[in-house]
Every structure is written in C-alpha cells, then in structure tokens.
C-alpha cells in the first residue's frame, strides 16, 4: 500500500440562518440550519451542477419565512404541494429556467427539488426522474455527446443507468461506472465526463444506488452492488466497449464500488473510492447508537433500505464489508485508490487502509482537513481523473 498525504483544504461553503438577517453565505462555518431544516443546504455541490448562489439563498429564505413559527423541521413543515413546500418552491424556479431554455439550471433546480429523494413521493419522482432527467439529456446532447438510458438486469428486477459516449458511433471505449451516495443523484458528477473523460475517449455510465432516483423501485440490501454487476454484464456484451472498466463512487456508494472489486475481480481494472462508508460506521450502528446520527441520515437510510429507522439500526452491521468477509480477510488483484479526509467520521482512515491493504496495488490519499465527511467536487474530480485515465489507457 502507498499512503499519500496532501495539503489541507478549506471547509465547503455553507449557508447559515442568523435571526432576522436571514440566510448568509459564509466559508468555514458549520451548518447552523441543523435542527431547523431536515435537509443540509449543499451550497458548493449545487452551484457545481449549475445552481446560482443568489437563487439558493432566496429559495431557502422563502421557505424559512413561509414556515416561520411552525413545529418541526421548517423545510418539511408544509407537506401540501404549494407555497412553503420544498419541492414546490424549487420546481417553480426550475420550470422558469426550463422555459428560458437554460437546461443546465433547470436540471440542477429540479434535482435540488427532489433532494434527498423519498421513494413514496410523487413530487420527488416527477421532479427528478421526469423533469431533471429530461433537461439533463438536453444538456448532454447540447454539449455534443451521446446519451442513452440503459436497462440492466438485477436480482431484484430491472435497473436503469445513464450511458454517455464521446461520440454516438464510436467504438472500443473503456468505461467509467460512477455513483454518488445516499442523497447524491447520478447527474451530479457529469462534469467528470465532460471535463476529464470525454476528451480522452472514455465512456461514462452513472446511476443512482438502489432505493433512490431512477432506481428507487429497488432496495439497498446488503447485496449492495447489484446494479453494478448488472451494468458490467451489459458492458461485456456491448461491442462499443473494449472491456476496460473503472468503478468509482463516493460516500454510501463507496461500499458497493469496493465490493465490486471482490465480486467482479476479473472484470474490473480499478476502483476509486472517496469518502466511502465501508465498514467502521456500519459496525457501530445499533438501536442504542442510531440516535447519534443526524436525523437526515436516519430517515434517508431507512428509506433506501425500505424499513423503519429501528429496522435500519438493526440491519446496519450487515452492510460492513468486514462483517461480510471482504475487508481484512480477502485480497483482490483490482487496483484501488482511496481518497478521504483526516477527520471523516463516516469514512475513517482505518477503512481506507483496510481497502488499500486488500489490493495488490492500493493507494491511500489522505487530505489533511477539518472538513470531516466529504470534499468539494471541485477538489475531488481533478484528483481522481488522472488516476482513472491512467488506468484505462
């Protein structure tokens, strides 16, 4: 294993509420909407996919004002689809962008509308699966690339993924398979393809994990990489691809990505795991400790697992890759790069060390930082793109 420690990064920009002054944009400040909003306001991530700072500030302030004085989380206080409702307010902004022909902003705002996505919400389905994806396809095609929604087989039935090609009629493509976490949508990493992979002649496939977005009809069971395996089988039969595959993921997606290095060892060239929740955090969750997790994480993970918060707490240890017999017990010939911060409680350095120790050619990149879990995509994508391109050439 090679360990690399690189310089510190600043904490991501956050949005905080400060009394009558409303929402402020500050850097390096902890999220002070905790306890006020269920959702985290992900300023850096949303501006990175096309949202505007001023629009985020305005919509969140409007929701705060509309629900002022109500009980519970203010972003969930208005459940009917109208003024003050999270989905409604963001859908209005998204529809306005769509009417003006700004499909990138429309896709971004519809995606924020659906965040963090609950499978029983018709508004979530319409905002993301219908509207965000429709605008996203227009963005990809306007950029001169080929887009195709593909269908793959899994033990739970059909799953869906987004295929991107540098050219429609190209062939002999290596491919990157990429996923985000439990509340990150497939379209949010498009810039990895647009800015780094396409010019190198590399195809790109993205999808949501089971239980979310276009795969919300599936359940995130301990067999977490069912969609990955289905996509790989699809690739192997498609003459457009040359058989070289890199799998990448962040946060909750890191677990199925790393798992694929073991279940599909002969098919995968390399895995990139950044800030992946692989083992330690899963082993530590039980009915007594689950309350220490932020409420957003509790309700989102219960939704993905198709259970209650109590059910999630009871099942969590089954998701640990150590408990499943992979990490600490098995080796893989797949090259693995792990990237994480030095202060991440969800993806601790010890998890990354287990991963890179399991690989014949493991690299562990530690970013000295006080950010905690996750890093800005503007920092991560340049770090991983060179590694990916090198493995696929």
Instruction: Compute the distance between CA of residue 320 and CA of residue 363 in angstroms, rounded to an integer.
Output: 21
Select from 45, 15, 39, 35 the least CA-distant residue to 115.
Answer: 39
- Encoding tokens for residue 168? 């429609």
Instruction: Compute the distance between CA of residue 390 and CA of residue 197 in angstroms, rounded to an integer.
Output: 11
- Encoding tokens for residue 329? 């017990």
State in Å, rounded, how far the first CA of the chain is from the last one.
Answer: 22
Beta strands per DSSP E along the chain:
2-6, 13-17, 23-27, 146-154, 157-165, 173-179, 203-206, 241-250, 270-274, 335-341, 362-367
The dihedral built from the CA positions of residue 111, 115, 119 and 122, taken in this order, carries a sign that is negative
Instruction: Compute the distance between CA of residue 218 and CA of residue 213 in angstroms, rounded to an integer.
Output: 10
Instruction: Compute the distance between CA of residue 60 and CA of residue 38 in angstroms, rounded to an integer.
Output: 12
pLDDT tens digits for range 64-97: 999 999 999 999 999 999 999 999 999 999 999 9
Task: Kindly state the average pLDDT of the residues 281-293.
Answer: 93
Q: Answer for the pair 189, 178: CB distance below 8 angstroms, yes or no.
A: yes
Q: In what order do the strands lie in the sheet with 335-341?
A: 2-6, 362-367, 335-341, 270-274, 241-250, 173-179, 203-206, 157-165, 146-154
- Encoding tokens for residue 31? 């999220």
pLDDT tops 90 at residue 286: yes
pLDDT tops 50 at residue 20: no
Q: Answer for the pair 193, 163: CB distance below 8 angstroms, yes or no.
A: no
Instruction: Compute the distance between CA of residue 213 and CA of residue 216 in angstroms, rounded to an integer.
Output: 5
pLDDT tens digits for range 347-376: 888 998 999 899 989 988 877 666 667 677
pLDDT tops 90 at residue 34: no
Ranges 45-54, 151-160, 348-357: which has the least confidence: 348-357
Confidence category of residue 275, pLDDT binned at 50, 70, 90: confident
- Encoding tokens for residue 185? 């949508």
pLDDT above 70 as % of the chain: 90
2-13+144-392 in CATH: which number? 3.40.50.1820
pLDDT tops 90 at residue 261: yes
Q: How many residues does the chain have?
A: 393
pLDDT tens digits for range 170-222: 999 999 999 999 999 999 999 999 999 999 999 999 999 999 999 999 999 99
Q: What is the mean pLDDT of the chain?
A: 89
- Encoding tokens for residue 43? 């300023």
- Collapsing DSSP to helix, strand or coil, 184 comes out as coil
């Amino acid at each position: 294993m090679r360990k690399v420690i690189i310089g510190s990064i600043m904490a991501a920009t956050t949005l905080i509420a400060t009394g009558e002054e409303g929402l402020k944009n500050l850097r390096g400040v902890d999220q002070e909407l905790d306890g006020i909003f269920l959702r985290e306001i992900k300023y850096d991530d949303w501006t990175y996919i096309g949202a505007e700072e001023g629009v985020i500030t305005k919509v969140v302030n409007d929701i705060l004002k509309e629900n002022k004085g109500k009980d519970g989380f203010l972003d969930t206080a208005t459940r009917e689809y109208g003024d003050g409702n999270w989905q409604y307010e963001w859908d209005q902004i998204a529809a306005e962008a769509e009417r003006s022909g700004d499909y990138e902003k429309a896709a971004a705002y519809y995606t924020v509308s659906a965040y963090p996505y609950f499978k029983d919400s018709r508004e979530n389905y319409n905002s993301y699966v219908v509207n965000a994806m429709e605008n996203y396809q227009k963005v990809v095609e306007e950029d001169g690339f080929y887009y195709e929604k593909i269908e793959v087989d899994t033990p739970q039935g059909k799953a869906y993924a987004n295929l991107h090609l540098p050219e429609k009629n190209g062939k002999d493509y290596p491919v990157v398979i990429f996923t985000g976490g439990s509340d990150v949508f497939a379209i949010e990493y498009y810039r990895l393809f647009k800015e780094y992979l396409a010019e190198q002649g590399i195809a790109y496939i993205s999808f949501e994990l089971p239980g979310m977005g276009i795969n919300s009809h599936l359940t995130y069971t301990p067999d977490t990489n069912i969609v990955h395996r289905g996509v790989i089988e699809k690739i192997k039969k498609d003459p457009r691809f040359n058989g070289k595959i890199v799998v990448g993921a962040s946060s909750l997606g890191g677990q199925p990505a790393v798992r694929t290095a073991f279940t599909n060892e002969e098919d995968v060239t390399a895995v990139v795991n950044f800030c992946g929740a692989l083992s330690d955090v899963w082993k530590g969750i039980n009915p007594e400790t689950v309350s220490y997790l932020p409420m957003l994480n509790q309700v989102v993970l219960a939704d993905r697992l198709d259970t209650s918060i109590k059910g999630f707490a009871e099942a969590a240890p089954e998701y640990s890759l150590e408990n499943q017999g992979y990490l600490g017990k098995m080796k893989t010939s797949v090259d693995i790069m792990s990237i994480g911060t030095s202060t991440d409680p969800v993806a601790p350095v010890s998890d990354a060390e287990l991963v890179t120790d399991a690989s014949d050619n493991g690299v562990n990149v530690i970013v000295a930082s006080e950010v905690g879990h996750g890093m800005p995509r503007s920092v991560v994508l340049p770090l991983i793109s060179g590694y990916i391109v090198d493995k696929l050439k």
